[in-house]
Amino acid sequence: MDETQELEQRAQALRTQLNSWRDAYYTQDAPVVTDAEYDRVYRELETIEAAHPELVTPDSPTQLVGDATLPELGKVPHEVPMLSMGDVFSLDELADWADRTTASAEAGELEYNVELKIDGLSLSLVYENGVLVQASTRGNGRIGEDVTKNVLTIADVPQHLARPLSLEVRGECYMPKAAFAKLNAAREQEGLATFANPRNAAAGSLRQLDAAVTKKRQLATFMYTLLTPAEFGVTTQDQAIRFMTELGFSTNPSSERLAHLHDIDDYIERYTGQRDDLSYGIDGIVLKVNDLALQEQLGNTVKVPRWEIAYKFPPEEAATIVRAIDWTIGRTGVVTPTAVMDTVQLAGTQVSRATLHNPDFIAEKDIRIGDTVLLHKAGDIIPEISQVVLSKRPADAQPYAVPTTCPSCGAELVHIEDEVALRCINPLCPAQVQEQLTHFASRPAMNIDGLGPKIIAQLQEKQLVRDVADLYKLTADDLAQLDKFKEKSINNLLQAIDGSRHNSVERLLTGLGIRHVGAKAAAVLAEHFGSMAAIAAASEDELAEVDGLGPIIASTVAQYFAMDTTSELIGELQVAGVNLTYTTQTAAPETDSFVSGKTVVITGKFTDFTRPALTAQLKALGAKVTGSVSKKTDLLVAGEAAGSKLSKAQTLGVQVMTEAELKQELTED
């Protein structure tokens, strides 16, 4: 085999590997390698193709932008393609790019607008007469995904501009670091796979089919590109940013207009040092020729503009040794592994522990006790192991044996279908009790005023409670042992505990912390079955048939009540005098209203109603209010920006009523 054949085979192997990684990163929002590893392999392919242009193929990642769009989302063609950006990885490479660009422009020394490279995903916003009409992702650069309904939930995206202009702007949708940390913590608590970085978290959130999920994810944006700037008298990139700011868009305040490379180097050095302190993730600096006419003159390659470049920060990693793996248990029973390592300095902090997420993560990385590992910070905040240094693995290192029993109570750990986490489902597990007690006493659950985490910690420390039933056995003498607890505090807490005995059973169901059973599901269960005994006796199929529950909740409820420890706990609560029946009184619904006996769905935004109040009003009139449109839906009440539910209702021939029509019916009724 000659050298050309070897290079051809190598190029094909690199293309196959990179395209697999691209699919994981862009389409599945679940990267399998670090950015640094992807960039290293990509540059090897670039080098081969540059030396041998005849080896370039149409499916090469060097010729592609973004990736495939999700079939579930509508398609949006981009009249002006949304391109990628070229990368450099050193100041010398940046200087070379600047020299080439200056020579191509033939305009003397160039001026640049220097901006932070936000770690998010590209977003296009289209306005007509000042009103947001369409939002889309980059997709493959030519066709993106319609994410309008999701973008409407992002707080800093203006739905109406300060002036009634028709235009398109582009920028970055990102997830702030605090929201990223909160989301991953919640997903780990639920036993779900965590996001690798804020960019993938933002992409996964923006591309949701349920806009309510997107809203909870707390996304944000920075706009930096104005299409057709000449229409508005804008001639430079820094003017474009000011113009977009005046219209109400969120723009990044850190951009600067610079001409000399030493000033650009200073800018890079400054933000390299400040990146850990920013509330959002950045992975580099972007240089753009400031003169928009020169941008147009310089043009684009098939994939990237010639007038801009991204300087990417070098990956910050530290090598350390894994000494142990600790397993901790949360309130919902998820058992989470954490690597205990030799302390190292990383991104400005001392790090000695890193989450290992779940058993699949340990197996995928093949992490063993005694391994030397490379550590980085996911999203600049969460320490994570990127890879094992196999050349330094001890000869006697053995594959890590994941525990099969709970390290706290000894109960068998379960691997629930579709979850990546191990879970202890014993409700009496000591490690879960403190968080369970706090949840049990919270306002949505049993609402025991004055019973907070600090008091619960004292009760546990003094071995006065081991489960929620023990709260009802507490005496004045018991509470007198707590710090700063005098007669008034003792009486108040005992009265609050006693008062909670009389709650309707849906509060108790909420307080038990059954997975997936929040206040709404608990109310549905209680109202349908009438008592704790009836719920416990129901089969999984019977539970799944209850409107508003579904198979996932049915499975977790059936599994919970099948355990002997659950029967023991419910028995203790019954002996303690805690009410186990449904006692919530609701007014009898009307039987002769315009919605009596009808299945109604509410969607969109309303001027004179809140969603909860309208739901309650329609239920009082005898309607059955559900969350999704189907063939069984009789009526859709549609406010502004009704979206996909309105389209589906029209397709199915469901009656649609506007807010004005609804108000008229309510007045007449």
As given in the structure block, the two tokens for residue 184 are 């991953």
- What is the third-level CATH fold of 3-63? Helix Hairpins (1.10.287)
* pLDDT of the residue at 53: 73
* pLDDT of the residue at 590: 61
**Is 117 considered catalytic here?**
yes
Contacts of 546 (CB under 8 A, 6+ apart): 524, 525, 528, 554
Distance CA 382, CA 324 (A): 19
Instruction: Report DSSP state, residue 241.
Output: H
Closest CA to 354 of 389, 392, 320: 320
Instruction: Report DSSP state, residue 46.
Output: H
Domain ranges of the chain: 3-63, 75-312, 318-392, 430-575, 599-668
* pLDDT of the residue at 125: 96
Instruction: Report DSSP state, residue 244.
Output: H
Does 1.10.150.20 match the CATH number of domain 430-575?
A: yes
As given in the structure block, the two tokens for residue 28 are 């599945």
Distance CA 510, CA 504 (A): 11
Q: Tell me which of 117, 149, 377, 624 is the catalytic residue.
A: 117
* pLDDT of the residue at 340: 95
Query: H or E stretch including 385?
Result: strand 382-388
Q: Tell me if the pTM is above 0.85.
A: no
Contacts of 184 (CB under 8 A, 6+ apart): 194, 195, 201, 382
Query: How do 334-346 and 318-329 pair as beta strands?
Result: antiparallel
- The answer to whether 165 and 347 have CB atoms below 8 angstroms apart is no
Dump strand ranges (E) for 129-261.
131-137, 143-145, 167-174, 220-226, 256-258
Instruction: Report DSSP state, residue 534.
Output: H
* pLDDT of the residue at 69: 52
Taking each continuous run of H as one helix and of E as one strand, the counts in the chain are 24, 21
Distance CA 39, CA 31 (A): 13
* pLDDT of the residue at 231: 94
Query: H or E stretch including 460?
Result: helix 453-461
- The answer to whether 170 and 118 have CB atoms below 8 angstroms apart is no
Closest CA to 115 of 251, 303, 294, 296: 251
- The answer to whether 119 and 282 have CB atoms below 8 angstroms apart is yes
Distance CA 526, CA 544 (A): 14
CA distances from 380 to 56, 279, 314, 386, 552 (A): 36, 10, 13, 13, 35
b vs e for 550-559, b when ≥16 Cβ sit within 10 Å of the residue's Cβ?
eeebbbbbbb
Residue 369 Cα to chain centre, angstroms? 31
- What is the third-level CATH fold of 318-392? OB fold (Dihydrolipoamide Acetyltransferase, E2P) (2.40.50)
* pLDDT of the residue at 641: 73
Q: Name the packing angle between helices 453-461 and 430-441 (round to 10°).
A: 140
**For residue 326, which phi and psi values (nearest 5 degrees)?**
-95, 150
Residue 332 Cα to chain centre, angstroms? 19
Name the 3-class secondary structure at 420: coil
* Angle, vertex CA 460, rays to CA 455 and CA 463, nearest 5: 130
* Angle, vertex CA 210, rays to CA 208 and CA 211, nearest 5: 90
Length of the chain equals 669
The 10 Å Cβ neighbour count of residue 26 is 22
| CATH of region 599-668, choose from 3.40.50.10190, 3.40.50.300, 3.90.1520.10, 3.40.50.10300 | 3.40.50.10190
Using the structure block, give the residue that is written with the tokens 């391109």: 83
- The answer to whether 644 and 149 have CB atoms below 8 angstroms apart is yes
Distance CA 641, CA 605 (A): 7
- The CATH-assigned architecture of domain 75-312 is 2-Layer Sandwich (3.30)
Radius of gyration of the chain from its Cα atoms, rounded to whole angstroms: 29
Distance CA 669, CA 543 (A): 36
Edge to edge, the sheet with strand 624-626 lists 624-626, 599-603, 635-638, 655-658
Mean pLDDT per 10-residue segment, the chain (669 residues): 73 80 62 69 78 73 60 81 88 92 84 94 94 91 89 91 95 91 80 77 81 86 95 96 96 93 93 87 93 92 88 86 91 88 82 90 94 81 86 94 90 80 81 84 90 89 90 93 89 93 94 86 89 93 83 89 91 94 70 82 80 75 80 86 78 86 74
Name the 3-class secondary structure at 232: helix
* pLDDT of the residue at 232: 96
**For residue 119, which phi and psi values (nearest 5 degrees)?**
-85, 80
Contacts of 590 (CB under 8 A, 6+ apart): 596, 620, 621, 622
* pLDDT of the residue at 70: 52
* Angle, vertex CA 289, rays to CA 199 and CA 102, nearest 5: 125
Name the 3-class secondary structure at 667: helix
- The answer to whether 45 and 61 have CB atoms below 8 angstroms apart is yes
* pLDDT of the residue at 417: 67
- The answer to whether 465 and 442 have CB atoms below 8 angstroms apart is no
